[in-house]
């Protein structure tokens, strides 16, 4: 009974909050809005109203939009932590928060290494937690890698990043390796926290497992496309296997290129996601379509958690993922409207309320 009582308030509150998430018609109304201000106004009747009210006054600012919407997400995260009475569960959520901070730091380093100007970088960098939009902008404009290292904090991880920076010459490969190293480290730390979870809390493994599978699939595809060999790629693979089995990973590592690796992944449990997109990849030569499709699948699995028995941590974990996807989608829509990107192009980048396959 103690385990159930730990989650009574959290379950009731999270289910209540989830009922106020945006629906497909909200997305459609924003996508078809005349301009970015009109799109923002579509949020006035939602739970985002306190966060966007000031954005409707004066000139539109991407920085302000990201800061305010990220604050909305951070408030949700802090609320979940405040209602999580089980210590192991709270530690798990905090490590998940750290993972997302590391992903932001990875994007910042990628931006600096590829010398991408802030105006362009602001379209895809998602500030998170203690790393707000001002910190992102200042460090990127200053090209200050050492200050990014201070935010990373962990000395062995920093040594790993320095080793990549010293030994890899190609800026694109260097940026990808740095990004993958940070993501792998963050996921390893979250996975370690699952060992302390008990009972139905272990359903979190399902939600995290798909994320780890996605990370491994995309690492292999991206590095195979750059002609890296097996041993070099293995350094960025997590030895954790959920739906993606160890044998599949080994076979994908052994093939010559990313197209052959896609065939390997098409023979496993991700066949329904990977196979239908292979013809599109042959035309577009853009691996991001697989990452988007895998995120959409992950979002659907997060939704499924709410149709299972409750009073456990996984509902809150799934909700935080869904809310993260929603906030990122909103930023994508608003940035797209600001730059007059066609609605169909914006829609292809979204995660929630979309068909399985991006076109």
Res 285: pLDDT: 96
Yes or no: say if 43 and 23 are a contact pair by the CB < 8 Å rule. Answer: no
Res 6: pLDDT: 83
Q: Is residue 356 part of a domain?
A: no
Number of domains present in the structure of the chain: 1
Burial category of 169 from C-beta neighbours within 10 Å (exposed 0-12, middle 13-18, buried 19 and up)? exposed
Q: Is residue 338 part of a domain?
A: yes
Q: Which pLDDT tens digits describe the chain residue by residue (359 residues)?
A: 447 788 899 999 999 999 999 999 999 999 999 999 999 999 999 999 999 998 888 888 888 999 999 999 999 999 999 999 999 999 999 999 999 999 999 999 999 999 999 989 988 888 888 888 999 999 999 999 999 999 998 999 999 999 999 999 999 999 999 999 999 999 999 999 999 999 889 999 999 999 999 999 999 999 999 999 999 999 999 999 999 999 999 999 999 999 999 999 999 999 999 999 999 999 999 999 999 999 999 999 999 999 988 888 999 999 999 999 999 999 999 999 999 999 999 999 999 999 999 87
Q: What distance lies between CA 243 and its chain's CA centroid?
A: 19
Res 1: pLDDT: 42
Yes or no: say if 40 and 55 are a contact pair by the CB < 8 Å rule. Answer: yes
Q: Is residue 149 part of a domain?
A: yes
Q: Is residue 359 part of a domain?
A: no
The tokens of 273 are what? 């996601």
Res 124: pLDDT: 86
Determine the straight-line distance between the first and last CA of the chain, rounded to whole angstroms: 48
Q: How many residues does the chain have?
A: 359
- Cα angle for residues 115, 230, 223 (degrees, 5° grid): 25
Question: What is this structure's pTM?
Answer: 0.95
Q: Is residue 299 part of a domain?
A: yes
Q: Is residue 180 part of a domain?
A: yes
Q: What is the 3-state secondary structure of the chain? A: CHHHHHHHHHHHHHHHHHCCCCCHHHHHHHHCCCCHHHHHHCCCCCCCHHHHHHHHCCCCCHHHHHHHHHHHHHHHHHHHHHHCCCHHHHHHHHHHHHHHHHHHHHHHHHHHHCCCCHHHHCCCCCCECCECHHHHHHHHHHCCHHHHHHHHCCHHHHHHHHHHHHHCCCHHHHHHHHHHHHHHHHHHHHHHHHCCCCHHHHHHHHHHHHHHHHHHHHHHHHHHHCCCCHHHHHCCCCCCCCCCCHHHHHHHHHCCCHHHHHHHHCCCCCHHHHHHHHHHHHHHCCCHHHHHHHHHHHHHHHHHHHHCCCCCCHHHHHHHHHHHHHHHHHHHHHHHHHCCCCHHHHHCCCCCCCCCCCC
Residue 26 belongs to what domain range?
Answer: 2-347
Q: Is residue 352 part of a domain?
A: no
Q: Is residue 75 part of a domain?
A: yes
Q: What are phi and psi of 18, to 5 degrees?
A: -65, -35
């Amino acid at each position: 009974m103690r385990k159930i009582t730990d989650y009574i308030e959290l379950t009731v509150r999270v289910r209540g909050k989830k009922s106020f998430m945006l629906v497909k018609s909200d997305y459609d109304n924003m996508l078809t809005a005349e301009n970015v201000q009109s799109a923002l106004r579509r949020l006035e009747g939602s739970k985002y109203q306190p966060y966007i009210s000031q954005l409707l006054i004066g000139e539109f600012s991407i920085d302000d939009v990201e800061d305010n919407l990220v604050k909305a997400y951070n408030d949700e995260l802090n609320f979940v932590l405040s209602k999580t009475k089980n210590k192991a569960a709270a530690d798990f959520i905090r490590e998940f928060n750290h993972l997302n901070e590391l992903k932001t730091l990875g994007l910042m380093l990628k931006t600096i290494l590829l010398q991408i100007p802030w105006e362009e970088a602001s379209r895809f960098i998602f500030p998170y937690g203690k790393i707000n939009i001002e910190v992102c902008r200042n460090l990127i404009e200053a090209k200050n890698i050492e200050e990014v290292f201070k935010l990373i904090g962990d000395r062995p991880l920093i040594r790993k990043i320095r080793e990549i920076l010293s030994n890899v010459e190609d800026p694109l490969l260097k940026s990808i390796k740095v990004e993958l190293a940070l993501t792998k480290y963050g996921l390893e730390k979250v996975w370690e926290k699952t060992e302390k979870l008990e009972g139905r809390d272990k359903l979190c493994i399902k939600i995290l497992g798909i994320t780890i599978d996605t990370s491994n699939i995309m690492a292999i595809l991206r590095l195979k496309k750059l002609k890296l060999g097996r041993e070099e790629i293995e350094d960025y693979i997590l030895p954790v296997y959920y739906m993606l089995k160890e044998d599949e990973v080994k076979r994908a590592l052994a093939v010559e290129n990313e197209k052959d690796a896609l065939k390997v992944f098409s023979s496993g449990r991700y066949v329904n996601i990977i196979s239908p997109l292979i013809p599109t990849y042959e035309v577009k030569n853009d691996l991001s379509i697989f990452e988007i499709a895998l995120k959409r699948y992950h979002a659907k699995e997060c939704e499924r958690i709410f149709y299972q028995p409750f009073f456990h941590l996984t509902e809150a974990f799934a909700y935080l993922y869904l809310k993260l996807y929603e906030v990122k989608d909103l930023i994508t829509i608003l940035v797209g409207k600001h730059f007059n990107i066609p609605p169909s192009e914006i829609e292809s980048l979204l995660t929630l309320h979309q068909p399985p396959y991006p076109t």
